[in-house]
A and B are shown apart, each in its own frame.
Chain A
């Protein structure tokens, strides 16, 4: 009888644990933070501030959720924040690449104009 009760309680708790991961997602927090840092290093603060702000907001909100004991919400927010930060990084890099490309195109055109003018002389 006692053993049966014990098994029952254990089973219940196992099923409950399966849905609600109780421990604080420290690793995810770290991952999200380092993604933010990488994005900033890529120039996100300047070139993709919108995505960066969203990511930072989500990290802050995840902190609140952890404090409130809503670990699952925090985990999801952190997952999203990480990809937001990665998108911020990719977008920052792309914005700069496009600017560089435009600059190179203009310089090539200027060069072409100049050499053709020289040729004309």
Chain B
């Protein structure tokens, strides 16, 4: 009886176990909608190029989830569990896709960083190029300006030199003019002192007969101031030469008068030689009673005619002849 009961319970037990196992098992694995769904999800991830490149780990996780689904289905687990595993597989597949897209974006960002650096580098090089060109242009201009400045400076210096020269010349000319004026004034003074007269033949100094005794050709001593002045004048103006002409009045023979006038002219010449005047600068002539300057009818006129005229040349040494 007890054995019977036991056998009965054992049978019931076996049935219960079978029933329980049956509840867990069910449809064949390949047709299990959970497995089908999980495989589709896994395949969609596996064939995705981005996933292959960037999300290998996530893809492996998806594969594990698929295997869990298949195992659960094969083991005849509760279909709710199979569907949960299938759901997890689908989510894993989506995670793989999201991860892959995310990593692809990051990769592009990295690439872009390099690209941006290249663009900036190129831009900078271009700018540097521009800057270099600009600098070179500026340097060329600076050099040109410097050359111009130097040119201007040297021109200014030349002008300054020229101005200085002109000033010096002006000063020189002014000095010379002053000197010439001084000389002219001195000459005028001395001429005035000699009591010489400006005629068309030049300066003519008339030495009156007071220098000579009647019928004599010797210069009176002690009355030679005019001769001294003339000698000084000739020393001062060495380019001037003299023509010494002697004249008489009409008394006496012509030949005698001519001889006397010549002797008197010679006397003046000798007196000047004595005072250091070169004889080569002078010529003495006797004209006798020719070229009277006054009437020979009166004593006063005759006295005027008895004379020695000293004609002083200009600075070129010219004396127009009579």
Interface of B is mostly: helix
For this complex, into which size category does the number of interface residues on chain A fall? 35 or more
Q: Would you give the shortest CB distance from A1 to chain B, in whole angstroms? A: 5
Q: Would you give the shortest CB distance from B126 to chain A, in whole angstroms? A: 6
Which A residues have a C-beta under 8 Å from some C-beta of B? 1, 4-5, 8, 11-12, 15-16, 19, 72-73, 76, 79-80, 83-84, 86-87, 90-91, 93-94, 97-98, 100-101, 104-105, 107-108, 111-112, 115, 118-119
Q: How far is the CA of A12 from the CA of B98 in the complex (A)?
A: 46
The 7 sampled A-B contact pairs (Cβ below 8 Å) are A72-B81, A86-B95, A93-B102, A97-B101, A98-B101, A111-B116, A115-B122
B1-22 residues with Cβ-Cβ distance < 8 A to A are 2, 6, 9-10, 13, 16-17, 20
| Nearest CB in chain A to that of B81: its residue | A76
**B101 and A94 contact, CB distance less than 8 A:** yes
**B80 and A72 contact, CB distance less than 8 A:** yes
Q: Which residues of A contact B102 (CB under 8 A)?
A: 90, 93-94, 97-98
**A105 and B112 contact, CB distance less than 8 A:** yes
Interface of A is mostly: helix
Q: How far is the CA of A76 from the CA of B116 in the complex (A)?
A: 49
| Nearest CB in chain A to that of B91: its residue | A83
**B99 and A8 contact, CB distance less than 8 A:** no
**A72 and B119 contact, CB distance less than 8 A:** no
Mark the stretch among B103-111, B146-154, B223-231 that contacts chain A: B103-111
Q: How far is the CA of A61 from the CA of B6 in the complex (A)?
A: 44
Q: Would you give the shortest CB distance from A3 to chain B, in whole angstroms? A: 10
Other CB < 8 Å A-B pairs besides A84-B91, A87-B95, A98-B105, 5 of them?
Answer: A19-B20, A80-B88, A93-B99, A98-B102, A108-B116
Q: How far is the CA of A44 from the CA of B172 in the complex (A)?
A: 107
Whether B176 sits at the interface, judged by CB under 8 Å, is no
Q: How far is the CA of A104 from the CA of B103 in the complex (A)?
A: 15
